Structure 1
């Protein structure tokens, strides 16, 4: 069974889908159309890019294989957190301190962009400020403390340290030693937000076509994107399908892997109990490599994520195992009912840094340090955004803005990200999954120490 079949099963019991009905559908592409830009992928990155391009006067057609926000954009944990999935040291080592500071500042801009779009387009997505990163033991607490001090001294980023004796005032859980509180980050209902962006894009003139999987891409001076029932001829293409591109651009797809992630949502809790569990109503992540993440919802449920599958196979007894993880963190919830259990696949890169770039008109990858290209040059007219590595709720929105800037003539900020280096996963198509499974077993052992 392919991961796409597994993914379809995992989408059936989403809390988000149950609480954000789709009030609008978009017709499939039928026939051939011409446009300035064709966007492949109707998730947060593609929708964001479409909005930004429309704001800049470009005609945009967006193609989505299923429904807008079908994948991770509409099914994720809902946590919008500053930074990247990789540690900031990865960016520092590759780009240097000043560009790394630029990247960090852009991740803060990504958070501001959510607020700006909600206000501009009237999107009610249950935004709640606050995020806690919590360590489960003294060793991990020491590492987190060093990170906090580094971010304060090198980046000017302020977070609040939560000492062991203060933990009870922040979270009613015996599991955690200490941690940080970040008032800038927060959480939201990702499907409500994504559908709001889709409505906004449509109002701005973007042509959105659902149920239109792309079957082929012809590169060249005027690239052509094919679907089963039509085609789009454009000046530029944006590939924003992540793990769903399925052979459309193999030269970049080998640099990401589909990794399964899983979430459950409890029955509605007594509001007083829900408030007592996390008084600040913040989103929470532990600091393990294979982490648990959770948050209260607007209707007083506990939404709890954890477990990953690097083999694409769904873990057995998913609901029971996730209930056990939730009860380990909150014994108070040991007997509560699980109303929803779902999952999906995220696009993990080798170093967990985002992978943005271009493909030349001959289909080859554009060298990231080649300064000869421009928006009107003959070198590159196919752009891509991928590798958000499970940390993309805010960053995808910024990525759409950066790629729109690049497509319309100002690539300076996009190129900061494009200079990050990426490698294909080792082992090729057949061996990379077993190799990753073995590697993750090592990190699970480290988390247990």
Structure 2
């Protein structure tokens, strides 16, 4: 028997996304005994995407969620849907070789395409928009940006990558602090919670059974496996762990491969069209090149959604609006008198090498986690690959499952102080 940690059950955080959610799920907790082909633990992108893809293949699926569907990082993030992986292609080529790096690049393109296909197929209303602009904070990064774009265009045949010089970047983001940019027209951005709720609605229509307020207490390995909650249990041929940053002590074999960190976001009051266009001329999403990145975009109703700052403790700042506002004002000091309507935080999971972590704990127990801030597309694609593996076609899943999965030095006991020391070091480099 393996013990499962769970958080106190709560409603959605007080975020702009929760306030503008267009679907409400009323499913209550699991009571009594259920059977299914597959039981999924966690109703974020990984879990819901897995469930939907499996239901489309004819599997019966139960999803157990400790809080609400989309309660975690899947309903709180910046909504960027970027191509590629969390690491640059040059780094992947150096560590894995060009052939494997190309496979991962193609997976990244398929991930974005899968998000878009799901949205169109299921008519999900989630403010889908095109393009992400990456901006260089340091002059020393300009040639790296240029080389990266040339690599994508010449070696990968990717024509939607465009190098943007300093003057052009200034016009696109309304200030002159950045030295160059890389515009990726193949990326997307969206309302992340409404996207997830749309996926969950499609999964429910396909026969997936969701249980909210159903934290797992323990599970019994075997065939079938039995997953227990406080009021019920599910017997299933397969189990999928999809908890990501909320793993904690869920499974020691997974916990030492990831580190939960907290990231914070604000939403301004709605801006008039002229002001909104002066901040982001082309309505793309933007993210900078700092180690602790800033990222921002416009919402469907012209609010600036700005993410900045993170911490590595078990607590969020007492005043998240003020915490993030200082990062926003470094980029846009002209917003000093703009009202901040929402401020919220979420917990994500990073890996030591910033690559996602997929695999099997037992022949019938699968997992996907550690998206390191690249979760909207990668976790959606991860659900597709997990469904393929469960249904017996594991070749593509194994491409991800055989990536290096280094553990944090010292395991779960010492990973936190080591991570904090490393993060503080890189934060200092950002400031310098």
- With the length of structure 2 as denominator, give the TM-score of the two structures: 0.95
Contact 1:217 1:248 in 2 (8 A): no
Residues 121 and 196, structure 1, Cα contact 8 Å, conserved in 2: yes
Matches within 5 A, 1:182-197: 182-197=184-199
Report the equivalent of 1:365: none
Aligned-partner Cα distance in 2 for 1:176–1:148: 17
Residue range with higher mean Cα deviation, 274-283 or 86-95? 86-95
- Mapped to 2, the partners of 1:439 and 1:8 lie a distance apart of 32
Consecutive unaligned residues of structure 1, counting only runs of 5 or more, are 361-379
Q: 1:77 to 1:149 in 2, by over 3 A?
A: same
Aligned-partner SS, 2:308: strand
Matches within 5 A, 1:133-172: 133-158=134-159, 159-172=161-174
Q: State the 1:315 CA deviation.
A: 3.8
Matched residue of 1:406: which SS?
A: helix
* Residue 252 of structure 1, aligned match among 251, 254, 259: 254
Return the alpha-carbon distance in structure 2 between the equivalents of residues 415 and 91 of structure 1.
Answer: 17
Which runs of at least 4 in structure 1 moved beyond 4 Å after TM superposition?
A: 2-5
In 2, the alpha carbon distance for the partners of 1:90 and 1:387 equals 18
What RMSD, in angstroms, separates the aligned Cα atoms of the two structures? Answer: 1.9
Give the equivalent residue in structure 2 for 1:344: 346
Q: Which runs of 5+ in 2 are unaligned?
A: none
Within the alignment, does 1:424 sit opposite 2:407 as a pair? yes
Aligned length: 427
SS of residue matched to 1:393: helix
Q: Which residue number in structure 2 is paired with residue 398 of structure 1? A: 381
Aligned to 1:383: 366
User: Quick check: 2:7–2:66 contact (8 Å CA) kept in 1?
Assistant: no
Q: Could you list the per-position Cα deviations for residues 338-364 of structure 1 after superposition, in whole angstroms to 9, with x for gaps in the alignment? A: 10000110011111100000012xxxx
TM-score, normalising length: structure 1: 0.91
Does structure 2 conserve the Cα–Cα contact (< 8 Å) formed by 1:94 and 1:420? no
Q: State how 1:238-249 maps to structure 2 within 5 Å.
A: 238-249=240-251
Whether contact under 8 Å (1:311, 1:437) holds in the other structure is: no
CA distance in 2, matches of 1:197, 1:262: 24
Q: 1:179 aligns with which of 166, 178, 181?
A: 181
Task: Confirm or deny that 1:231 pairs with 2:225.
Answer: no
Taking a change above 3 Å as real, the CA distance of residues 236 and 117 of structure 1, as seen in their structure-2 partners, is: same
Are 1:320 and 2:322 matched, yes or no?
A: yes
Q: For 2:233 and 2:185, locate their aligned partners in 1 and report how far apart those are by CA, in whole Å.
A: 46
Report the CA distance between 1:94 and its aligned residue.
Answer: 4.7
SS at match of 2:29: coil
Shift of 1:386: 0.4
CA distance 1:142–1:95, shift in 2 (3 Å): closer
